[in-house]
Structure 1
Amino acid sequence: MLSYPAPIKKTKIIATLGPSSSSYETIKEMVRAGADGFRINFSYGSPHEWSRLARLVLEVEEELEIILSLVGDLQGPNPRIGFLSEPMCLKRGELVELALADSQESVGEKKVVPVPLKSFFEVTERGDVIIMADGQTILEVLEREDHTITARVVEPGCIRSRNSVGIRGKVIPMPRVTEKDLSDIEFAVQHEFSHLMVSYVESAEHVSEIREILSKRGKQDISVIAKIESRKGVERVDSIITEARGVVVARGDLGKHFSLEEIPSIQKSIASKLRAKGKIAVLATQLLTSMLNSPTPTRSEVADIYNAVLEGFDALMLTNETAIGRYPIDAVKWLSRVIVEAERHYTRREELLPEPKGIPERFVLGLVKLALSLNAKLLVFSFTGRTAELVAQYRPTRVYFVGTPSASVARRVKMLWGSVPLIVEAQDYRSGIDLTRKKLLETGMVTSGEVLIEAYSVTGDREYLIRIYRCA
């Protein structure tokens, strides 16, 4: 039995599944390397393939007796290119044509990129900069005629079916929640997903709409994570944070709307706002891009990850590195290595944490401080996961344990900073605490002589309990 992934870390790793990581063994080895959850990007593949991947994650979870977050990523109002029969590599200076079409048509040696979105062509003008594949490929528009664009390659790269496409500084009109999103939400509801990421969120109303859809399906417990990928999203991030359970800082798409030198300050600012509100902060895109083709990262990538940990991100998300890269397991291993090293130098700064407003917040802040003063491990039992969420936002210096009888709550808790969820069959809080402690001792996560701070709070704020327990 694997107690929890080695090495032990508080910052979580989300790995995106794709062609390079679609086998049972690869998923299992990524968990052993330190992956805490897996993302399925609904912009690629089919429900049949997503179902297979979700099933594999749950099977690995069962074999290793460990909890894994399962994250669905809605395409949202995110413009993408159509279907390509094979990857298209574009060289600097060559001409390429973009055409209104669902898929690539044979036109001799001419390179044609299908874009199945009429409004994309309506807003494009000569001189515009088109950015594809999370900012890795850049084109300059030379001509536009109705539904055809001729462009020159400024930054070369290889593009694939369903890669993102955008126009720097422009918004391409699209409905907020698409028919595809509705279908994909239904899929997530039926396949035990713990989190839903919502792409191109530019308003709090967008998040509210997704939450309402989930609520009507009886799945209001699925955590909604808003992806900030545009100028409007950044400008309205404060109101978006209020509605969402967390936010993804999607640096690749932000590069379509901001100059590169602006991205680090945007990243740091959003992370700070999320910490102050006690919300989940996720950093994504190009963490280990060099590892698409190399078994080791660059020094600048290591420094980037190190700084993200010190900025207080709850989770770091690998995208292409594990979905289509040649070294998905190595990418997770390296990310784990850097996180562990960075956390050795992480300083808990109370002035950056949320101000406790009521009894629940003050109770949990007291727990964290008590555990710190006694150098004890913290154990909480929760039916809903709310107490675990509060613990995470006050940043205990050691990992903390969360007992719950609900698999869905455990998977949701798994993404929280520092959490180690365990499923225990308990009908009440007191037996839940006892059974969780027993499981910790059986698995070796807690040993004889160690001190535990045990706690729970009853839903409705009727009862709070703290117990100091020395394990025999």
Structure 2
Amino acid sequence: MEYYGTLGPACGSVQTLKEMLAAGMTGVRLNLSHGDLEENGHWIRMVQEAGRELHSQVQILMDLRGPELRLGRFKEEIQAEEGSWLVLGDGGLPVPEEALAYVCPGDRILIDDGKVELEAEAGAAPSASGCRIMARVVRGGLIKSGKSLAIEGKAVPMPTLTESDRKNIREAVSYGITGVMLPFVRNKEDLLVLREALKEAGAGEIQVFAKIENMQGVEAIKELLPYCDHVVIARGDLGNAMPLWKLPGVQKRLARECREAGKPFMVVTQMLDSMHERAVPTRAEVLDIYNAVLDGASSLMLTGETAAGSYPAQAVEYLVNTGEEALRDMEEA
């Protein structure tokens, strides 16, 4: 069983990373949605130093931008109040024009894994330098640069890899990257594009992790399996693609497909979400981890809990101890 944490300010020291590794973490995820490998090289160097000091070989996964929709850059965080209005696009919140073109009146727009929800007033209209729409805040919250964006029920066509992704792939070997995560995998062609880019970069040995984050990926799961090394059941954006009460059944379906095909799979997102602020997780979170292992997961990953939470090492400890307990119980059953 592999246990991953996500790099970020909360674990931004060699000492904290050593504590996480000592607690049983076997690998880390570097989210490249907010910068390239070169800009994030200091994180990798810290991980490698922590691993050397503990004589531990650490897996390093780079999470590409891929075809995921994200907000653009803006200087200050926005506190969106319920019932208020936001301009999306030209002169307002920076939203890709590809997404604006698909927005219709009444569409639900989900930001940051659905933490903030907007309702579009009208479709995109041309302005002086682009397109813009008005949207009402249905569920308020803090909006930050680079966060995920989704239009419920709609798939916006985007290229498999950005130019930034291709640059990072070319540099992956020199940074010691062991695996690459492709967001929003839609079909086998996405994985073939990634495989070809890795091959051209002399990085064909790097493991491919296919993130299932939309219904296209769910429906295509059988055709995807031969073209990836691992499946990632990424419940954040996947939960935006359906009513949340349907998500558990979809997770179980994906796990079953992977088990039957003998394909390793990871479960990720909000495994220990309460540990952003609390030193002890909820009973439901611990049960979620335990059940993911019983379903056959080969790896588990923490995201914001280690990147931005108050208790990164403790979160890893709970993740690992719960996962190992589940494995012991499976052996004894």
Same fold? TM cut 0.5: yes
CA positional deviation for 1:348: 8.7
Letter in 2 for 1:113: L
Would the alpha carbon gap of residues 87 and 21 (structure 1) be closer, same or farther in structure 2, given more than 3 Å must change?
Answer: farther
Match among 128, 140, 161 for residue 145 of structure 2:
161
Q: Could you tell me which residue of structure 2 aligns to residue 113 of structure 1?
A: 93
Match among 13, 19, 22 for residue 23 of structure 1:
13
- Structure 1 stretch 272-281 or stretch 250-259: which is displaced more? 272-281
Match status 1:342 vs 2:321:
no
Match among 232, 237, 246 for residue 216 of structure 2:
232
Q: Could you tell me which residue of structure 2 aligns to residue 77 of structure 1?
A: 67
Match among 70, 86, 100 for residue 96 of structure 1:
86
User: Any idea what SS the aligned residue of 1:113 has?
Assistant: coil
Match status 1:57 vs 2:37:
no
CA positional deviation for 1:347: 5.2
CA positional deviation for 1:198: 0.6
Match among 228, 233, 238 for residue 244 of structure 1:
228
Q: Could you tell me which residue of structure 2 aligns to residue 127 of structure 1?
A: 106
Match among 51, 58, 77 for residue 68 of structure 1:
58
Q: Could you tell me which residue of structure 2 aligns to residue 407 of structure 1?
A: none
Question: Deviation string for 1:307-328 (max 9, x for gaps)?
Answer: 1111111111111111122221
CA positional deviation for 1:277: 2.0
Map 1:155-194; keep pairs closer than 5 Å: 155-194=139-178
RMSD (Å) for aligned C-alpha atoms: 1.7
Distance in 2 (CA, whole Å) between partners of 1:265 and 1:183 is: 37
Distance in 2 (CA, whole Å) between partners of 1:145 and 1:280 is: 42
Match among 173, 198, 202 for residue 218 of structure 1:
202
Match among 139, 148, 151 for residue 118 of structure 2:
139
Would the alpha carbon gap of residues 348 and 267 (structure 1) be closer, same or farther in structure 2, given more than 3 Å must change?
Answer: farther
Question: Deviation string for 1:408-430 (max 9, x for gaps)?
Answer: xxxxxxxxxxxxxxxxxxxxxxx
User: Any idea what SS the aligned residue of 2:267 has?
Assistant: strand
CA positional deviation for 1:226: 0.6
Distance in 2 (CA, whole Å) between partners of 1:227 and 1:145 is: 30
Letter in 2 for 1:125: C
Map 1:7-46; keep pairs closer than 5 Å: 11-46=1-36
CA positional deviation for 1:145: 4.3
Would the alpha carbon gap of residues 225 and 177 (structure 1) be closer, same or farther in structure 2, given more than 3 Å must change?
Answer: same
CA positional deviation for 1:26: 1.4
Q: Could you tell me which residue of structure 1 aligns to residue 128 of structure 2?
A: none
Letter in 2 for 1:297: P
Match among 44, 47, 51 for residue 37 of structure 2:
47
Q: Could you tell me which residue of structure 2 aligns to residue 375 of structure 1?
A: none
Distance in 1 (CA, whole Å) between partners of 2:73 and 2:230 is: 32
Q: Percent identity?
A: 39
Distance in 2 (CA, whole Å) between partners of 1:348 and 1:125 is: 55
Would the alpha carbon gap of residues 46 and 178 (structure 1) be closer, same or farther in structure 2, given more than 3 Å must change?
Answer: closer
Extract unaligned runs of 5+ from structure 2: 126-130
Match status 1:264 vs 2:238:
no
Match among 140, 146, 149 for residue 133 of structure 2:
149
User: Any idea what SS the aligned residue of 2:35 has?
Assistant: coil
Would the alpha carbon gap of residues 42 and 144 (structure 1) be closer, same or farther in structure 2, given more than 3 Å must change?
Answer: same
Is the 1:246–1:274 contact (alpha carbons within 8 Å) kept by the matching residues of 2?
A: no
Which has the higher relative contact order, 1 or 2, with Cα contacts under 8 A spaced 6 or more apart?
2
* Length-normalised TM-score, structure 1: 0.67
User: Any idea what SS the aligned residue of 2:93 has?
Assistant: strand
Would the alpha carbon gap of residues 33 and 159 (structure 1) be closer, same or farther in structure 2, given more than 3 Å must change?
Answer: farther
What is the total number of aligned residue pairs between the two structures? 328
Match status 1:324 vs 2:308:
yes
Map 1:266-345; keep pairs closer than 5 Å: 266-345=250-329
Is the 2:233–2:266 contact (alpha carbons within 8 Å) kept by the matching residues of 1?
A: yes
CA positional deviation for 1:233: 0.6
Distance in 1 (CA, whole Å) between partners of 2:122 and 2:192 is: 40
Is the 2:89–2:97 contact (alpha carbons within 8 Å) kept by the matching residues of 1?
A: no
Question: Deviation string for 1:123-178 (max 9, x for gaps)?
Answer: 00110001111222211112344222222222232222110001000011211222
* Length-normalised TM-score, structure 2: 0.93
Is the 1:280–1:314 contact (alpha carbons within 8 Å) kept by the matching residues of 2?
A: yes
User: Any idea what SS the aligned residue of 1:249 has?
Assistant: strand
